Amino acid sequence: MKLSFKEKVYKVAHDIPKGKVATYGQLACLVGNKKAARAVGLFMKNNSDRSVVPCHRVVAANGALTGYSFGRGSATKKKMLEKEGVIFKGQKVDLSKSQWKKIV
């Protein structure tokens, strides 16, 4: 059975480990469409099962905490990421230390 683009995105996002983040663009590239970062963002926004797809671990290309709709939005996302050990520089994730490097 062939997975849809959305299902592929959710499958890859599921693998982001605690303490790491991926960018919307990174996920788009990993599933084969480097121009689909906005679609990935929409999928994360509409994620119906945060226990399966850790959408809080997906951030903007510059490390900004954008588009989180659970709890108190970005404040909740930051608390969750800090609890998991993600490193921040101010309000943005320090991608040099906390970006997930998926081994293919």
**Catalytic residue chosen out of the listed positions 22, 27, 55, 80:** 55
The candidate with the shortest Cα–Cα distance to 100, out of 11, 4, 40, 16, is: 16
Report d(CA 87, CA 89) in Å as an integer: 7
Helix (H, G, I), strand (E, B) or coil at 18: coil
Query: Is 55 annotated as catalytic?
Result: yes
Contacts for 79-83: CB closer than 8 Å, 24+ residues apart: 80/56, 81/21, 81/56, 81/57
Catalytic residues: 55
